[in-house]
Every structure is written in C-alpha cells, then in structure tokens.
Amino acid sequence: MRTYEHIAYLLIYMLQASGKARFRLSRKSLQSISGRSVIKSALIKNIGDWMEGVAVILPLNRGGYVVISQESLEGIAPLKIADVIPNWRKIEIEFLRAQVDAAEDEDEE
C-alpha cells in the first residue's frame, strides 16, 4: 500500500511523462497504483491535497477519475453570474431545482 504522497507523485509524474494536460484513470488502475482494493473519497481528497498547485483529481460520473494539470486550468475564462443569470438574486431554490433536474433528465435520454 502506497502513501498518499507516493500516489500523488506517481500521478503527477504520469501527467508530465504523457505530455498531456489531462487523462482518465480507471478505478481499477487507481486500485493498482495505490495498492488498495477499495477507493474511498478520503483517498481522493488526500491525494488531491498532495497534488495541490500542480494538478487536481476528480471522480467521473461514469466511473474512474480524471487528473488535470493545474497549469491547463489557468487559461479558463472567468464567468460572472450576472452575465449568465441577470436576476440570480431573485431566483428561488424551487426554480433552480426544476431547471437543474430538467437538464439532467435531458442528458440521460
């Protein structure tokens, strides 16, 4: 079983060696890399803590994980809520739930 630091450095080195800005990692691969049979959210958080400032690791809905270089995130354009949702201060939670749930339903179809 590898330490959080060891796992984080393996993933960072993997990112650097690949020359890519991001990659997907299956649960099975992470189990192999970490030496653990069960991958818990605490493991992902602890790996992420060691990767801070260099890369992030996030779970994917379809399973597995994505490792993204922090550098590749630097160029992301900012987005102001008022530019997208001008009346955001007045929107009730019920409306937001309905909108988000409807969008999720469309994605599943």
Segment 5-17, tens digit of pLDDT: 999 999 999 999 9
State the Cα–Cα distance between residues 33 and 8, nearest whole angstrom. 10
Segment 67-91, tens digit of pLDDT: 999 999 888 889 999 999 999 999 9
State the Cα–Cα distance between residues 68 and 15, nearest whole angstrom. 8
Domain boundaries, the chain: 4-73
Confidence (pLDDT) at 107: 66
What is the dotted CATH code of the domain comprising 4-73?
Answer: 3.30.1370
Tokens, residue 32: 């192999």
